Amino acid sequence: MLFNDTILDHFRNPRNAGDLSDASATVEVTNPVCGDVLRLAVRVEAGRISVARFKTQGCVAAIASSSVLTEMLAGLTPADARGITAQKISEALGGLPPATLHAAQLGADAVAAILRKLSSGG
């Protein structure tokens, strides 16, 4: 499978990988089809997501999607973060191959889960 340079760059040099010790919320989502696991943590300060970190076990596309997702989340309000879809994650990577769109969906699922957790108070 061929990936574009943006996807490969995020895979080889993931942004914001690691743990976030003082996170406002942390979630873990799994893709039951392929077994990819994404742990997403965010810190909210002054009503905006100030930091997002991830740990992903999965394929090239899953790691790249998680990396670009953390860049997309930074600075957004939780309400704005609701607009992050699998399609937008794929577009931010220059377009994922159709067979790997599940990786972007994993990111979108993580956003939905983290927003639920934030709205319930962490």
Provide the CATH number for the domain around residue 67. 3.90.1010.10
Return the pLDDT at 81.
97
pLDDT at 122 over 70: no
- pTM equals 0.95
Domain that holds residue 91: 5-119
Tell me how far apart the alpha carbons of residues 12 and 88 are, in angstroms, rounded to a whole number.
21
Amino acid at 88: K
Counted domains in the chain: 1
Read off the pLDDT of each residue in 38-58 and give the average, rounded to a whole number. Answer: 97
- 52 token code pair: 């997002």
How do residues 73-106 score in pLDDT, each as one tens digit? 999 999 999 999 999 999 999 999 999 999 999 9
Tell me how far apart the alpha carbons of residues 97 and 21 are, in angstroms, rounded to a whole number.
34
Tell me how far apart the alpha carbons of residues 2 and 28 are, in angstroms, rounded to a whole number.
28
Where do we find the tokens 């076990």?
Answer: 57
Partners of residue 45 on adjacent β-strands: 48
